């Protein structure tokens, strides 16, 4: 059975096309999980809405606790790391991480960056060995195959790889760097563009993105969660 962690980072609470000023990235994540459940209702989904309920920013207490070896931690440090542990446990349990994130000022929303800062943690999602200066980091989420699906929305166009404005897009490249750093390297990207233009240009972009989501669901379901030879025997 496959488990999905759905992460919505948009500050807009509704769905584009349904709610006034609704979110296109939320519409894409909703489309993904709806199509997934329609075909595999037995699979499980955890939804965390960091756009409406942002994670905490890291502070001095968090830093002190996160970089103190477990055997030397003081009692208060478990509380300082509680939220981080909860988010990391959710992420580690997932086979597929679905992130809905608009492009805000060329990068990720602050709520998503706060989530990143809480889940990228030495000893939990990555290990550091200073005795290996040529390759000191070990990604701890590379223990089994995991996929990440980045579903984004953009006001303009040309931000895709090879596009005229690709160098200004720090959302997907930034997330890709982070996810690969902790061991999630099967990454898929789909975006809605032309929000500012609206009209037919936006409608065509939405239709294309939704079609690509459907194709991705079909592809992932054909490769993930298939019974092993031992289970079939």
Which domain, by its residues, includes 172?
3-232
Write the CATH number for 86.
Answer: 3.40.50.360
> Domain total for the chain?
1
**Residues 100, 26 contacting (CB under 8 angstroms):** yes
**pTM of the entire structure?**
0.93
List binding-site positions for FMN. 10, 23-25, 153-156
H/E stretch holding 63: helix 60-66
What six digits make up the tokens of 199?
């009209």
Strand partners, 101: 152
- DSSP-derived pairing of the beta strands 126-128 and 137-139: antiparallel
Q: What's phi and psi for 195, nearest 5 deg? A: -60, -40
**Residues 212, 190 contacting (CB under 8 angstroms):** yes
**Residues 157, 194 contacting (CB under 8 angstroms):** yes
Strand partners, 32: none
pLDDT tens sequence for the chain (233 residues): 999 999 999 999 999 989 989 999 999 999 999 999 999 999 999 999 999 999 999 999 999 999 999 999 999 999 999 999 999 999 999 999 999 999 999 999 999 999 999 999 999 999 999 999 999 999 999 999 999 999 999 999 999 999 999 999 999 999 999 999 999 999 999 999 999 899 999 999 999 999 999 999 999 999 986 543 333 32
Cα–Cα distance between 17 and 153 in angstroms, integer? 14
List binding-site positions. 10, 23-25, 153-156
Cα–Cα distance between 176 and 189 in angstroms, integer? 10
Cβ-based burial of 225 (10 A; exposed 0-12, middle 13-18, buried ≥19): middle
Contacting residues for 20 by C-beta, under 8 A, at least 6 apart:
14
């Amino acid at each position: 059975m496959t488990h999905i962690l759905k992460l919505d980072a948009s500050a807009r609470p509704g769905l584009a096309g349904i709610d006034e000023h609704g979110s296109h990235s939320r519409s894409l994540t909703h489309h993904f999980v709806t199509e997934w459940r329609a075909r595999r209702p037995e699979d499980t989904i955890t939804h965390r809405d960091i756009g409406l309920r942002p994670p905490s920013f890291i502070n001095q207490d968090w830093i002190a606790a996160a970089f103190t070896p477990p055997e030397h931690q003081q009692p208060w440090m478990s509380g300082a790391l509680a939220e981080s542990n909860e988010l990391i446990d959710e992420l580690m349990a997932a086979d597929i991480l679905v992130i809905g994130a608009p492009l805000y000022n060329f990068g990720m929303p602050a709520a998503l960056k706060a989530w990143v800062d809480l889940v990228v943690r030495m000893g939990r999602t990555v290990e550091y060995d200073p005795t290996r200066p040529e390759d000191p980091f070990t990604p701890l989420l590379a223990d089994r195959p995991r996929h990440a699906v980045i579903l984004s929305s953009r006001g303009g166009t040309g931000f895709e790889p090879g596009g005229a404005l690709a160098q200004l897009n720090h959302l997907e490249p930034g997330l890709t760097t982070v996810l690969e750093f902790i061991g999630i390297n099967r990454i898929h990207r789909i975006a809605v563009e032309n929000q500012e233009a609206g009209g037919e240009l936006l409608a065509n972009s939405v239709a294309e993105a939704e079609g690509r989501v459907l194709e991705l669901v079909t592809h992932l379901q054909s490769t993930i969660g298939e019974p092993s030879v031992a289970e079939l025997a």
